[in-house]
Amino acid sequence: MLEGNIAGPLALIGYGLAAIGPGVGIGILAGNAVQAMARQPEAAGMVRTTMFLGIAFTEALALIGFVLFFIAGG
């Protein structure tokens, strides 16, 4: 069987899990934003701003995970 042990803070795994959701979310968001820009290039500026805003909200979860990693992992 596999010998050895896994070391390191559990918080790392927590952060990894926290990053999954936002990762998927940002992917979907950016993909749809690209589609929207391709369909209506004249609205690209508005779409881009809204995209960044959406990314900012989506990213919040990952960022909270990041902070918790520092607090719990220290």
Question: Of the candidates 58, 66, 60, 62, which has an alpha carbon nearest to the alpha carbon of residue 29?
Answer: 58
Are 14 and 65 in contact by the 8 Å Cβ rule? The answer is yes
Q: Is 70 in the site for other proteins (CB under 8 A)?
A: yes
Quick count: other Cβ atoms within 10 Å of Cβ 66?
14
Q: Is 12 in the site for other proteins (CB under 8 A)?
A: no
Q: Is 53 in the site for other proteins (CB under 8 A)?
A: yes
CB of 38 to other proteins, least distance (A): 21
CB of 7 to other proteins, least distance (A): 10
Q: Is 40 in the site for other proteins (CB under 8 A)?
A: no
Q: Is 67 in the site for other proteins (CB under 8 A)?
A: yes
d(CA 15, CA 66): 6
